[in-house]
Amino acid sequence: MNFELTEEQSAIQDMARRFTAEQVTPHAAAWDEDSTFPRETLNKAAELGFGGVYVAEEHGGIGLSRVEAALIMEALSYGCPSTAAFISIHNMATWMIDAFGSDDVKQRYLPDLTTMTKIASYCLTEPAAGSDAASLKTSAVLDGEHYVLNGTKAFISGGGVNEVYVVMARTDQGSQAGGISCFVVDKETEGLSFGAQERKLGWHSQPTASVIFDNCRVSKANMVGQPGDGFKIAMQGLDGGRLNIGACSLGGGQRCLDDAVTYVKERRQFGQRIADFQNTQFMLADMKTQLEAARALLYIAADKVSKNAIDRTQWAAMAKLLTTETGSKVVNDALQLHGGYGFLRDFPIERFLRDLRVHEILEGTSQIMRFVIGREIVAD
């Protein structure tokens, strides 16, 4: 067993960390304060290949595994979890096109997506279909050479701003999960509109809105995979998405731990540094241990997903559960160590606290992760 990163993985991690230090960290607070969508920074990230992390090189990507993707997302989220998660979502949608799309769909969309000339959204969740994604109601009815889509998708990152939408819609009303198909829809398609931008607790650097289909006509050629493949595609995409969101929690947690260590070494109370109190050291010890344990689990799960292991979904769920809950706890403890200063927007801790909280909800809540894990444990 080898628990060390390869030379190539270390180089990828270093590249992502340098990019974050130069292009993300200095601007993240302003993006959050002003709800600024950093399109220019995303384009710079794409120059490093971050627009098509696991898209095949022949289609313009850099063809990395889920392990390398996790390293990249963790590094990016050290500066801004919101922006890192947005890049992850774009990569999930782009991977679906590369992994399941026809040659025609790949040729039409991947060149612009991998360079992030165009950015993709992933549209699964609906107002009445969150954790129970198989119950989605958005319909796609075949009419000649087109499918006519009707319905609404909720909480869509990039909604109203992104140019491409990978959409799950029901093509067979008589089947539950097996009746869902996957489509690529362009922003300018007639019948496609968007709700108002959501006002959120965190993730201020990325736009979020409902995506609305009203007799939206989409060419048959824009179907990804075969009719009925949509739910399978969505679930495979979520395995990778859960790993990336977990990595974003690790990056945010690590940033707050590092900031907390710096702060307690400088802050003095009762005649000595806060860092010299045993209670402080015990808190830091727990934070460090919890992060490293979660990180190890995430890397194992990422390797299983990359190798298409039979138990990959359970491991991805375990990794997502542990990393997201650990990240939130570590950030909360870091705020506690900062005392009242941690509650101020002058320090980055409160931003990370807000940004990481949603990680326990999206890509499957912590409760759904426990359901996925437990179901596999008792399966015959």
Tens-place pLDDT, residues 49-61: 999 999 999 999 9
Rounded to an integer, what distance in angstroms lies between the CA atom of residue 257 and that of residue 342?
Answer: 12
Are 71 and 50 in contact, with CB atoms under 8 Å apart? Answer: no
pLDDT at 51: 97
Rounded to an integer, what distance in angstroms lies between the CA atom of residue 25 and that of residue 206?
Answer: 16
pTM exceeding the 0.75 threshold for the entire prediction? yes
Q: What pLDDT, in 10s, does the model give residues 160-196?
A: 999 999 999 999 988 888 999 999 999 999 999 999 9
Mean pLDDT of 370-374: 97
pLDDT at 266 over 80: yes
pLDDT at 225: 97
Q: What pLDDT, in 10s, does the model give residues 64-117?
A: 999 999 999 999 999 999 999 999 999 999 999 999 999 999 999 999 999 999
197 secondary structure, DSSP code:
P
363 is catalytic: yes
pLDDT at 173: 87
Are 225 and 233 in contact, with CB atoms under 8 Å apart? Answer: yes
Structural fold of domain 7-114:
Butyryl-Coa Dehydrogenase, subunit A; domain 1 (1.10.540)
Are 277 and 285 in contact, with CB atoms under 8 Å apart? Answer: no
Write b or e for each residue in 84-109: b if 16 or more Cβ atoms lie within 10 A of its Cβ, otherwise e. Answer: bbbbbbbbbbbbbbbbbbeeebbebb
Mean pLDDT of 346-360: 97
Rounded to an integer, what distance in angstroms lies between the CA atom of residue 65 and that of residue 30?
Answer: 32
CATH number of 235-378: 1.20.140.10
pLDDT at 2: 79
300 exposure class (CB count in 10 Å sphere: 0-12, 13-18, 19+):
middle
pLDDT at 295: 98
Are 46 and 87 in contact, with CB atoms under 8 Å apart? Answer: no
CA atoms in the 13 A half-sphere facing the CB of 237: 30
Are 125 and 156 in contact, with CB atoms under 8 Å apart? Answer: yes
147 confidence band (pLDDT: 50, 70, 90) = very high
Mean pLDDT of 241-250: 98
Q: Does the domain made of 120-230 have the CATH classification 2.40.110.10?
A: yes
Q: Is 207 helix (H, G, I), strand (E, B) or coil?
A: coil
Q: What pLDDT, in 10s, does the model give residues 195-205?
A: 999 999 999 99
- Residue spans per domain, the chain: 7-114, 120-230, 235-378
Rounded to an integer, what distance in angstroms lies between the CA atom of residue 373 and that of residue 80?
Answer: 29
Single out the catalytic residue among 22, 126, 363, 376.
363
Tokens 């384009």 correspond to what residue? 43
Q: Is 196 helix (H, G, I), strand (E, B) or coil?
A: coil
pLDDT at 306: 95
Are 274 and 337 in contact, with CB atoms under 8 Å apart? Answer: yes
Tokens 């050291």 correspond to what residue? 281
6 secondary structure, DSSP code:
P
Rounded to an integer, what distance in angstroms lies between the CA atom of residue 201 and that of residue 359?
Answer: 12
Beta partners for 209? 156
Give me the chain's average pLDDT, please.
97
